[in-house]
Structure formats: structure tokens, C-alpha cells
Amino acid sequence: MPEYTVIGKSLPRVDGRVKATGEAQFAMDVALPGMLEGRILRSPHAHARILRIDTSEAEKLPGVKAIVTARDTPGIRFAFVDTPGHPADEYPLAVDKVRYVGEEVAAVAAADLDTAEKALELIRVDYEPLPAVFDPEEAMKPGAPAVHDEIVPTTTSAWEDWGAKKKTLPYKVVNNICATTNIAFGDVEKGFRESDYIREDRFVAVATAHTAMEPHVAVASYNPAGSLEVWLSSMGNEMKRFWLAKTLGIPISKVRVHKTYVGGAFGGKINLFAYEFLASFLSRKTGAPVKIALTREEVFMTGRTSHPMIITLKTGAKKDGALVAQRMKIIADPGAYRGTSPIAMFLAHIFCPPIYRIPNMAHEATAVYTNKSICCPKRGHGNPQARFAVESQLDMIAADLGIDALEIRLKNARESGEVLPNGDRLNSCGLKEALTRAGEAAGWKQKRGRNNGRGIGLGVASMFSGSAVYPFGSAAVVKLDLDGTATLFTGQIEFGQGADTAMAMIAAQELGLRLEDINIVSADTELCPIDMGNYLSCGVFVSGEAVRRAAADARRQLLEATAKVMKVNIEELETRQGYVRLKHTPKKSLPISEAIKGSQMFGGSSIIGRGFKEALSNIGFAPGISRGAGRFTDAYTYTVAVAEVEVDRVTGRVRVSRVTTADESGFPINRMNLEGQLDGQAVMGVGDALFEEVVRESGHILNPTFAEYRIPGFKDMPELTSIHVEAPDPGGPYGAKEAGECSRSAVIPAIANAIADAVGARIHSLPMYPERILAALEEKERSTGKTIAKS
């Protein structure tokens, strides 16, 4: 392996100082001259028709600058997914009826927050309550309350008579079904007939919150000349920019998203939100900057959750444990609007074939509207739900066949070089090594099967590296400065995961500079090249490779110019630790600053490197009907998690004592950041497995603050051990792949399997509350007729 001077080290983060000193500017910190405060009136009903909105009294209140309802807006729908089969279905303000508690009805801009709040109290809304439906299985039944009827495509304004103009046909909603995904390969029924053993189980994953420490905030300033500047809590500036331009009816070139630091995202800050549009629209209406900051209750209410899923899983195997066939049926609950449900259901499948060889698979998924708040990606996006089901059932299959749970995984695990059913090739795959090393480090053979209140369990997950599922790549620019430093321009967003540090380290390594020699300009759509944003695990693999190529281009230009000055062949030169030097005579060197000056003197131009990471040409992202063909990534990442638990059989309480993760994410750009990602996901998985759930009653969230919604605290922290399996992938910068999403999906089923190992009873629903564990123990006692020993 090459000797690297920058990457592969545990270097301090480039944003560490500004965050430690409080200099880092978050969206909440933005204060513009004459800025107004915005507030949003929300629906108290889960489902109701809006009969009348009276804003007259609120408009008389001194300090109120503007009040808007749906009829004041352009009436353009928006969404994460907007295709002919899945047209956008959200409005920034409710039109005619509300579909969930907390939906936006009106918005106010006022001189201060108190005035804005008072104005909301003075707005009178007459509602006609309608029957609501909260269970997706009930919502699918004929005669259930219709959450939506017909949806107008976004090409038409809501205020146009689309029925008469016949521009496009509306999307008809039947039985509240808003999306379906059907994927198959092989012959599943034949596979079941050839299996020696078949079992079928039902699993339930609930809605959980993202719980980012920073609430959602938007500051917007509309210029009379027609341009809009916004400061957002975001992880996808180009997507926000696109939809702001579309919904406001202005050119995208007129929308600038400024860089702000982001206090956590975990998938929950990708989509355009209504409050972001409303801040922008109110700014245009008033001619003044407007800030809208959601309260923590509003974030829980409307900031979106993970996708609840009901998963029915049927799997066939041979007596020796070889998996033969599998059918997964999913009923997803996206809430009152489609959100990202087509993608979540699609991803729940595509993360399965890369792990185990199952020659015959069928995936049938249905998303069903309910009168609940909207769902969006959460760290894994469909993968955690699917892995909970698959890994839990695999343990049950192993037990029934008398095979060790680790051995059955090793038997079926994929290896490097294999071609997946969709055509993706595993250019790197360290799954078997990860399984072996994780098992050894956790003491699997010594601890598995005690069944005395202590248990150990396995979970495995895969994740793709790089968002090739979208038909565009990422770009970066590197400019060399006269003092021997470099300025990197990248559209990547720093939201706590270390993106700025990783991009700067890649640039420094490629240029032969120190990390402190890189000045980074990121996440500003006016200054930086287009970048899809850091989601779908595209950060290092896609954008990082664009940065490497831009730095390589700059280095090439520098060496070409220096070769002329030194009168040598360019092949004889290299850059290292701030110098251009002869490879075989290192003492003959020139400081990079002098080389840059020489380049300008003899070359006559600045050195500006450009890099672009292209998308795949044969994209198979089709969250509808597919035979499993079509590629969607260049590389896959794997994580194996082993969890150890202690279960109190009297109270049902669980303590996760240790989590060992073996992560195969290619070459680590920053080892400390990688460990932070793995540890953070492990702790998040503890919450998912044991106690996190957004609890509702008649559509109202009962735990909308951190006082009621429990997340892992200090006392819940297990001992964490991270093992890095290096399987560099040729498609990523220096072989790096994804590291931010995979581990969580493995930890959740590992805990579930550890609990089953500890008590001998299986929990099929998340989270695994003490009551559910006790109920499973009682059911086991009834079925076996034996009294379970208490300890």
C-alpha cells in the first residue's frame, strides 16, 4: 500500500476551531438588517375540510407585515419524487383540506416573534372534521377514508382549470395506495418448491425521529431585482434550490443558498420543507428578510420521521443452510403525502442481494397514505427496516436447522468479484473477513447460546457508495494560490459528519500539501460547482473523487509548468509535503509556492484544476416495476455488528453491554472520523432497537420533545469496539467508500438477535420494549408448558 502523508490519519477536523469557539454560523445565527420573524398556523385536526380562513383581525395587529394562505401562493406542488407515475403531491399551505395534525394552513411575518404568535391566535379557521385513518392496512381497505382523491401534476398550477385544459391527466389514488414497487429475479415459486425448509414471519418497524440537535431553520432575503438568497439547515442545497425556484416561479440561477453549518441531519433535512418556501415567499411579499425557526415540537410534528413498515418475509433454504428463495412483502406508511416512500421501498430491496446469495427473490412493496405526518430518509432509508426482518429471520432459520448463526452467514455471504442480479459487480467485498473478525473480537464461540439472561447476536447490512441512482455526478474546483496553498471549491455540505475535513484531506494528499494548506469553500451554490449534496452516501465516494480529480488536474498543470522551469521531463517530478521535487533526487526540490509563481511567469495563467465524477451510464433506479436489472452504484459497503445484551427477566429491561462493529468501507480517509461515524450509528441503533418511537393518538404526537421522546443517554452507552476491514474500491478516492449509514442497519438486528439468544424468545416488533419481552417470555412459557426461571 502506498505511504500516504495526509489521508489515512486521524487528523483534527478543519471546522473544529470555529465550532469550539462559537464562530461557526448556523442558520439560527443569521441576522439580517430589518429581518422579520415568521410563524406558521398549523392544523389541529388529522383530517378536515377547510371551510373558511379569516385573517382580518390578525392583519389589524400592529407589527404584522404579511399573512398568507394557500390562495396567495402560486399553487405549485413539490416533492422529493416527482415523476409521471409519482407526481408531486404536497402544497406549502393546505388547499381545501388538511390531512394531518400540524399541516401548514397559514403563515405570518411580523416585526417580532410575540407579534407573530399573537397574529396566529387571531386567525380564524372554520373546519369540517372528516373521518381519519391511521393504520396503513386499514387504509387499503375499500371504503376507508380517502386521504387523497386526484393529484394534479406539478406542470399545472392548482388554480388553473386542469380538468378543462386537459394538459395532463391527474394521478388517481385508489384505496389510498400512493406507490408500489415490484422487483423479482430467478423463479421464486420454483425456489420454494426446491427448498427443504421454509418459514414465514411478520415484522414491524415503527416511525422514529431524527433528533438532530439543531432545529429546522430558514432565513430568506428576496431582492427586488428578482433574486433570492437563503440560509438553510440543509443537506441537499441543489435540491432545495431547484424546488424553491420552481415553486416561486423564478429562474434557478436567481436562487443562492449560502453556506451554514448544520447541527445534524441523518437524512431529515433533504427535502424542501414548507417553512423554507414560506420564508422565501413572505420575504418577496414584504420586501424584507424573513426568518422561520421551528420549535422542537414543530420539528417532531412536521419535520418528518422514518418510514414505518410492516414486513412479511418468506424464506426457503436447504438442509445445509444454503438460501434458495425469498419473498419480501412490505406495507409502508408514508403518512399524508408520498414523501420518499417509493425510494425507501426500492432501497429496502436493493440492499439485500449484495449480502447473501439468494438465487430467487421477489420484492413486493406498497405505500399507503394515512392521516399522519410525512416520512423521509433516516440513515439507511429502508435498509434498517429490511435488515431487522431478514437478519432476525435468518437467526430463526439457523436455529431450526441446527446451524450456528455465524456459520450460516459465512456460508451464504457474497465475495469480491461476484456480479449481482442487477448487473452491479462487487469490485470490493470484505464481508466474510468482517464476519470472521467481528465474531472473534466479540468472543462469539465462547458466549453464544448461554440463554441465561445474557446473549450475543449478529446483524449484517450493506449500503451502496455513491448516489449513482441519480443521473448526474459531482464537480469540484481547486485553485492554487501564490503562497503555496490551495483553495478548494466543493458543493458538499458539512452537517457534522466531517465532509469539509475529508474533502480537504483528499485535496491535500493529491496536491502534496499539508491539510492546513487547504482553504475550503463549500456548500455555497453561488461560489461552488453543482453538487448533489451529501445524501445517499455520496459524500466521499462521489464528491471526494471529484475533488481528487480536480486536485490531480491542478497538480498536472503545476508539474507541466515546473518541468519547463527545471528543464526535466514531467514524469521525473512529484509533489510532496509542500515541494515539487525530482523523484529520484529528492534534494533537488522547489517549494510549491515558487513553482506556482514560476508557472504564472512562464505559463501566463493561474492554475485552476477541475474535476468531475460522472454518474453511471446504465442507471437502474426505477422504484416501480423491475426485473432487478439496471445498475445504481459503483460500489457497496458492508458492516457486521455483534451485540451483547443483559436482559432482566423480571422487568424485561435490556442493557446493551457491548457492540462490536466490523466495517468494510474501503480505505479510511480520516480514521478518527470513521470511528465517530461507526460509534454514532451504534448508539443510534441502540435507541432504535430498545425505546425510540414517535407515539401518536388520533394523529396527535404524544412525545414531541426530548422530555418525552427518549434517545440514548450516557447510561445507555455500550462498550464500543470498531474493526476496520480494508477492501479498497477502485471507484472511490484512494479506494474509499461509504461509512455513514451502513452500521446502524446492522446494529438493530444484532440487538434483536442478542435478546433472543438471552431469553430464548423472539421479538418481532420495534422497539423491543420491556413489555414486549415479557409478553414473548409468557408466550414461550405457554407454548412449552415450562416455567421460565427468573433471575
For 543, which DSSP code? I
Do the bridges between strand 36-42 and strand 104-110 make them parallel or antiparallel, or are there none, so unpaired? antiparallel
How many CA within 13 A on the CB side of residue 681?
A: 33
Q: For 14-29, what is each residue's pLDDT tens digit?
A: 999 999 999 999 999 9
How is the beta sheet containing 486-490 ordered, strand by strand? Answer: 518-522, 486-490, 474-480, 608-613
- Among 406, 369, 385, smallest CA distance to 328 is for 385
pLDDT on residue 604: 63
Cα 132 from Cα 369, distance rounded (Å): 11
Q: For 88-123, what is each residue's pLDDT tens digit?
A: 999 999 999 999 999 999 999 999 999 999 999 999
Q: Are 46 and 101 in contact (CB under 8 A)?
A: yes
- Among 553, 478, 548, 560, smallest CA distance to 509 is for 548
pLDDT average, residue stretch 767-789: 83
Q: Does residue 604 or residue 746 have the better pLDDT?
A: 746
- Tell me whether residue 253 is exposed, middle or buried, using C-beta atoms within 10 angstroms of its C-beta: 0 to 12, 13 to 18, 19 or more: exposed
Residue 511 has pLDDT above 70, yes or no: yes
pLDDT on residue 164: 37
Cα 570 from Cα 102, distance rounded (Å): 64
Percentage of the chain beyond pLDDT 70 is 93
Q: Collapsing DSSP states into helix, strand and coil, what is residue 36?
A: strand
pLDDT on residue 151: 65
pLDDT on residue 440: 97
pLDDT level of residue 788 (50, 70, 90 thresholds): very low
CA 595 to chain centre: 43
CA 25 to chain centre: 23
Do the bridges between strand 654-664 and strand 719-724 make them parallel or antiparallel, or are there none, so unpaired? parallel
Show Cβ contacts of residue 271 under 8 Å, excluding neighbours closer than 6 positions: 79, 80, 236, 239, 304, 339, 340, 376
- Retrieve residue 76's grid coordinates: 405549485
Cα 538 from Cα 524, distance rounded (Å): 18
pLDDT on residue 145: 97
For 721, which DSSP code? E
**ω into 224 cis (within 30 of 0):** no
For 283, which DSSP code? H
**In residues, how long is the chain?**
791
Q: Are 271 and 90 in contact (CB under 8 A)?
A: no
**Which DSSP helix (H) or strand (E) runs through 58?**
helix 56-60
| SS3 assignment for 736-767 | ECCCCCHHHHHHHHHHHHHHHHHHCCCCCECC
Q: For 258-287, what is each residue's pLDDT tens digit?
A: 999 999 999 999 889 999 999 999 999 999
Ramachandran quadrant class, 36 (left: phi over 0; alpha: psi -120 to 50; beta: rest): beta
pLDDT on residue 564: 86
pLDDT on residue 451: 74
The H-assigned helical ranges of 303-382 are: 341-350
Q: What is the CA radius of gyration of the chain?
A: 27
Cα 464 from Cα 468, distance rounded (Å): 9
Q: For 700-722, what is each residue's pLDDT tens digit?
A: 999 999 999 999 999 999 999 99
Q: Which residue carries 396503513 as its cell?
A: 136
Instruction: Give rounded-to-5 percent helix, strand, coil for the chain.
Output: 30, 25, 45
Residue 626 has pLDDT above 60, yes or no: no
Q: Which residue carries 506556482 as its cell?
A: 596
pLDDT level of residue 166 (50, 70, 90 thresholds): very low
pLDDT on residue 677: 92
Cα 18 from Cα 15, distance rounded (Å): 6
Q: Give catalytic residue positions.
A: 741
- Tell me whether residue 96 is exposed, middle or buried, using C-beta atoms within 10 angstroms of its C-beta: 0 to 12, 13 to 18, 19 or more: exposed
Q: Which residue carries 427443504 as its cell?
A: 196
The string of DSSP codes covering 565-585 is: HHTS-GGGEEEETTEEEESS-
